Amino acid sequence: MPGVAKIQESHAGTGHRERLRQRLLRGGAEALADYELLEYLLFAAFRQGDTKGIAKRLIAHFGSFGDVLNAEPGALAQVKGMGEASAAALHAVSLSARRMARGSVEQKPVLGSWQALLDYLAIDMASLKHERVRVLYLDTKNRLIDDHLAAEGSIDEAAIHPREVIRRAFDVGASALILVHNHPSGDPEPSRADIQITNRIAEAGRLLNITVHDHVIVGRGSHVSLRAKGLI
């Protein structure tokens, strides 16, 4: 009977959810495969039923668990089985991860919390499909006081002018800064333009007593520090 089949399916789904929940609570960080963790996150939007198929479709479509969480809500909602509520549920997880990572950087000396800073930048920028240029402005104790989105697009003087970067440092009361941008190709090696604009900003900073600590280029799973490479 159709009604009985529906009840049996509901009970089976409930049992599966409970098994996933117990594995998650008892098994630690690696207890669930990527698609299973995504499946569990989708429970918030789907009160009943199997979310395994949707989870697997999302990973197949975007490429990885991380890419799913970094996808725009509109793109998530286009995948079969998804909608506005489920896209919002996953987007909220992504925003929560970014907020946690940012919280580990704020109010601490950035140079003494370098790995936390790199983790924050990787979560926020590594999966972007376009270049994003940011300037992290620091106070005299090297604490983050302004995380400024300077430009979307290629890093050159058309997008980010040395004079404007240094002027903002004065506006926010910063004594130092760190330049950051990502390479959508995934390869974080600096281009000639990256090196040239960094040196121009560093020189402008020296003239006005604003220290350029570094320029960090974020790639997929890796980064490059121009300071570490001796390019500043």
Q: What is the pLDDT of residues 12-25, one digit of tens each?
A: 567 888 888 888 88
Rg (CA), the chain: 22
Give the pLDDT confidence of 154-211 residue by residue, as tens digits: 665 546 789 999 999 999 999 999 999 999 888 899 999 899 999 999 999 999 999 9
Residue 226 has pLDDT above 50, yes or no: yes
Cα 179 from Cα 43, distance rounded (Å): 39
Are both 92 and 127 inside the same structural domain?
A: no
Nearest to 182 by CA among 170, 191, 192: 191
Residue 2 has pLDDT above 60, yes or no: no
pLDDT of residue 101: 75
CATH number at residue 181: 3.40.140.10
Cα 179 from Cα 108, distance rounded (Å): 18
Question: Tell me, what amino acid is at 64?
Answer: S
Are both 129 and 215 inside the same structural domain?
A: yes
Are both 94 and 127 inside the same structural domain?
A: no
Structural domain includes residue 157: yes
Which residue stretches of the chain are H helix?
2-27, 34-42, 52-62, 65-70, 73-77, 84-103, 114-125, 162-172, 192-207
Cα 166 from Cα 205, distance rounded (Å): 6
Q: Answer with the one of 100, 131, 153 that is the final residue of a domain.
A: 100
83, 88, 90, 92 alpha-carbon torsion, rounded to 10°: 180
Q: Answer with the one of 65, 100, 135 that is the final residue of a domain.
A: 100
Structural domain includes residue 105: no
CATH number at residue 41: 1.10.150.20
- Residue 189 is classified by DSSP as P
Tell whether the torsion through CA atoms of 156, 120, 86 and 67 is positive or negative: positive
Give the pLDDT confidence of 76-111 residue by residue, as tens digits: 999 999 999 999 999 998 888 878 777 776 767 777
Longest CA pairwise span in the chain (Å): 82
Domain that holds residue 183: 119-225
Structural domain includes residue 108: no
What total of structural domains would you count in the chain? 2
Cα 138 from Cα 151, distance rounded (Å): 19
Structural domain includes residue 230: no
pLDDT of residue 214: 94
Are both 9 and 74 inside the same structural domain?
A: yes
Contact 220, 198 (CB under 8 A): no
Are both 88 and 163 inside the same structural domain?
A: no
Are both 80 and 178 inside the same structural domain?
A: no
Cα 228 from Cα 166, distance rounded (Å): 22
Are both 70 and 153 inside the same structural domain?
A: no
Q: Give every strand in the sheet of 223-225, ordered side by side.
A: 144-152, 132-138, 176-182, 211-218, 223-225
pLDDT of residue 9: 46
Structural domain includes residue 66: yes
Are both 20 and 56 inside the same structural domain?
A: yes
Are both 125 and 89 inside the same structural domain?
A: no
| 5 — pLDDT class (breaks 50, 70, 90) | very low
Are both 8 and 93 inside the same structural domain?
A: yes
Supply the DSSP string of 19-41, one letter for each residue: HHHHHHHHH-TTSS-HHHHHHHH
